[in-house]
Structure 1
Amino acid sequence: MSSGIHHVTLITRRVQANVDFYVGFLGFRLVKRTGGYEDSTQLHLFYGDAAGSPGSLVTFLVWEDGATGRVGTGQVAEVAFAVPAASIGEWLTCALDHGVPVEGPVREFGESVLRLKDPDGVIVKLVGGDLPGSRVWGDATRAIRRLRAVTILTDRPDETAAFVGRFGYRPGQASGNIQRMLSDTDAIDIRNASGYVSGILGTGTADHVAFRAADVAAVRAAKAELSRIDASPTSFHDRKYFTSLYVREPGGTLMELATEGPVCTAVTNQATGAPA
C-alpha cells in the first residue's frame, strides 16, 4: 500500500521564526507556499530537499491566532530527519551557537540522536546514519537527507502497529515502550503511552503523517481495503500535485495516503528563504 513516509504536517503560530529555523538553521528549501486545503485563506508552507521530493517534506499549517496544542496520545510526537553520521557533533555545536534547545547525543536503535525544539516547541530529532537519501540542498557534509522516522503516541500500541503494517511497514526492533516499524526507507516508532493525556490539536503539534502511494489507483485500492475493515477513510482530495486519502488509526492519529508526484515546485528566493 505504501513505500514510506511522504510528508509530515505540523502547525505553527510564528511564520518568520518557522522559516528561520527550517530554512536558515536546518537548511531545508521552502519548496511551496500555498493556501490551506480546507481554508484557502490559511497559509501552508512546504519544506523539503532541492527537488521537493516525497520523503523529504515537512509542511506547516499557519495558525497565527491559534491556541497552543497539547502533545498526547493520538498524535505524532516527534519528527526525525537523517543526517550524515559524522555530522552529529557539528550539529550539536551549531545548535549551541544558535541558542537552539538541544539534548543529546544519545543512542536510539543503534543510531546517534540529537533532540532539538523548533520555535513552537515541536521536537525535531537529527539522526546520524549513512543512509541513502534524497537530493541534498546546502552543505553536503551535514545536510539533512530525508525523513528518518516519526514517533506516534498511542494507548492502543498493538492495534496502532498492526494498522501501520497496512502501509507496508514490518516490525523491527523493540526498545522499552517503543516498537519500531520499518519500511525500506524510514521508520515509524510506536510508543505505548497508555495512561498519558490525550493530544489536543493546536500550534506546536502535528496534524498528520502521510505515506507514499505509487498512483491514484493505489489510493483507490487502499480506500476500498480500509472501508472493508471499517476504518472510515474520508473521500479523495485532489491536491493538484498529489491525490490523497485520510484515515485515523485505532489510537486516533490522523494518517494520509498521498501519491508520489508530481513533486512540489520551488517558489522562494533560496538565498534568503523568503517567499518570492
Structure 2
Amino acid sequence: MELKGIHHVSALTAKADENYHFYTNVLGLRLVKKSVSQEDSSVYHLFYGDRKGSPGTELTFIEYPLAPQNDEGTNSISAISLRVPNDQALVYWKQRFEKLKIAHEEIKNRAGRSTLAFKDFEGQRLILVSDEKNEGVQGGIPWEKSSIPKEYGIIGLGPVKLTVRDAELTAGLLTDVMGFRKKGQYSSESGSQPDILVFETGDGGTGAEIHLEKRTDLPLERPGRGSVHHVAFRVETEDELHEWTNRINVAKIENTGIIDRFYFHSLYFREPNGILFEISNDGPGFEVDEHINHLGETLSLPPFLEPKREQIEAKLKPLNTKAE
C-alpha cells in the first residue's frame, strides 16, 4: 500500500498537430500512442514518453480545438516537471530554447535541484529538473531515434506542483490517506506567500514528489488550453489498485471506482481543493496493441471503440505521426 511515484500527467491542448511537433521535434519525446479521449472520441488523446512509454515517463494531451486560453490561478496543477540526466543537460536545453525562441527562465535552484522553467506554444508551464543528485525513483530510457542527444534527453516526469487556496487540507490527504511523507520546503517565488512544501512517496526522489504551494493572492484558475487536467500516481498491480479503492472508500472520498483504460486501469477522485487525482497500475502498457518499433504511428482504439473506428476517424483531423 505504497504509491511508487508519478505515473503520468494529462494536460489540455487546442492543436494536436502543433502539440505533436513541439513534444517530439522540440523536446525529443516519443509519441507512444495516438488514440482518442474515451469520454469524447471526437478528439485526440496523445501519449508521449520514453522509448516505450514506461510508467513515470508519460505526458499526455487531450485535444479540445475550441478550448479558450488557460487563465492561471489556484486550485490547479500549476507546473509539470520533466527530468533530465544532469546539470549539464540544462545548459544544453537553455541554449536550445534560445535558438528556437522558446520562452524560458534562467537556470535556478528549486528544492535543492537545478531547474529550468519554460513554456510551450500554448503557455503550458513546464520545468526541466536535473537528476544529478537523484537517489530515488529511476528515470526511463530516451528513444534512440529522438532528435535530442541521449546524454541530454528527457528521462521522465519530475515533481508535480499543486497551487491551492487551502494547503492544510491537501497536505492532510497526501499524508494521512495517500501515504506521502513531508520531505522539506523551499521559498515561494511570489515573495509574499508561504514556503512551498515538498512531499514524497515510495523510494522518493525526482519522480515521486508533489510540491504544494499555498496562494491567497490569486483567483481560481479557469482551465483551458495550456492547463493540466490531472496527475496520476503509480501502483504496480491491479490488486494494489483494488486495495487503494478500498482505502479511498474508507476515507469516504467520492471516486469513480476502477476504470479500464485498456493500457492500464485507473481510479479517479478529487483532493479537497478540487484537483483531479488518479491512481493507475503499470500494465499492460502501450505494446499491447502495437509493436514497440511502431508505437504511435497509427490510430489506436480500445476494444470497446474499435467497432466505431470508421465513424471516429471521419471526425478527426488527419494527423501524420509515422516515423520518417
TM surpasses 0.5: yes
What 5-or-longer segments of structure 1 have no aligned partner? none
Letter matched to residue 257 of structure 1: I
Q: Which amino acid aligns with 2:228?
A: A
Q: Tell me if structure 2 keeps the 8 A contact 1:120–1:204.
A: yes
- Alpha-carbon deviation of 1:274? 4.3
Listed as ranges, the matches of 1:123-134 within 5 Å are 123-130=125-132, 131=134, 132-134=138-140
**Partners in 2 of 1:98 and 1:24 — Cα distance?**
11
Q: Which residue of 2 aligns with 1:117?
A: 119
Q: Is the 8 A contact 2:238 2:281 kept in 1?
A: yes
Higher strand residue share: 1
In 1, distance between residues paired with 2:126 and 2:186? 20
Which residue type is aligned with residue 84 of structure 1?
P
The whole-number CA distance in structure 2 between the counterparts of 1:180 and 1:162 is: 13
Deviates more, 1:160-169 or 1:145-154: 160-169
Letter in structure 2 aligned against 1:71: E
Equivalents in 2 of 1:68, 1:147: separation in Å?
24
Q: Which residue of 1 aligns with 2:182?
A: 171
Secondary structure of the residue that 2:20 maps to in structure 1? helix
The TM-score, its normalising length taken from structure 1, stands at: 0.94
Letter in 2 for 1:219: L
Distance in 1 between residues matched to 2:73 and 2:39, nearest whole Å = 24
Aligned identity (percent) is 29
Aligned to 2:51: 50
Q: Which has the larger radius of gyration?
A: 2
Distance in structure 1 (CA, Å) of the matches to 2:92 and 2:223? 34
Kindly provide the amino acid, as one letter, of the partner of residue 197 in structure 2: Q
Query: Which blocks of at least 5 consecutive residues in structure 2 are unaligned?
Result: 188-194, 288-294, 299-318
- Aligned match of 1:59: 60
What does residue range 12-91 of structure 1 map to in structure 2 within 5 Å? 12-85=13-86, 86-91=88-93
User: CA offsets per residue over residues 198-253 of structure 1, 9 Å max, x none?
Assistant: 12222110110001122222222212211222211113210111110100001111
SS in 2 for 1:220: helix
Number of the residue aligned with 1:207: 229
TM, length-normalised to structure 2:
0.80
Shift of 1:173: 1.3
2:75, 2:46 → 1: CA distance? 23
What CA distance in whole angstroms lies between the structure 2 residues aligned with 1:198 and 1:239? 30
* Equivalenced residues, count: 273
C-alpha displacement of 1:168: 3.8
1:267 corresponds in structure 2 to 296
Alignment of 1:113-192 (within 5 A): 113-130=115-132, 131=134, 132-137=138-143, 138=146, 139-165=149-175, 166-176=177-187, 177-183=195-201, 184=203, 185-192=207-214
Q: CA deviation at 1:186?
A: 2.4
Q: Residue 136 of structure 1 aligns to which amino acid in structure 2?
A: P
How much does 1:180 deviate? 0.6
Shift of 1:195: 4.2
1:225 pairs with 2:247: yes
What is aligned with 2:94?
92
- Structure 1 runs (4+) deviating above 3 angstroms are none
**TM-fit CA distance, 1:194:** 2.7
- Work out whether residues 182 and 188 of structure 1, in 8 Å CA contact, stay in contact via their aligned partners in 2: yes
Q: What amino acid is aligned across from residue 196 of structure 2 in structure 1?
A: I
In structure 1, give the amino acid aligned to 2:142.
Answer: V
Query: Partners in 1 of 2:217 and 2:248 — Cα distance?
Result: 28
Higher relative contact order (CA 8 A, sep 6+): 1
Matched to 2:13, the amino acid is T
1:134–1:146 Cα contact (<8 Å) kept: yes
The residue identity in structure 2 corresponding to 1:34 is S
Contact 1:14–1:120, Cα closer than 8 Å, also in 2: no
Q: Which of the pair is proportionally richer in helix?
A: 2
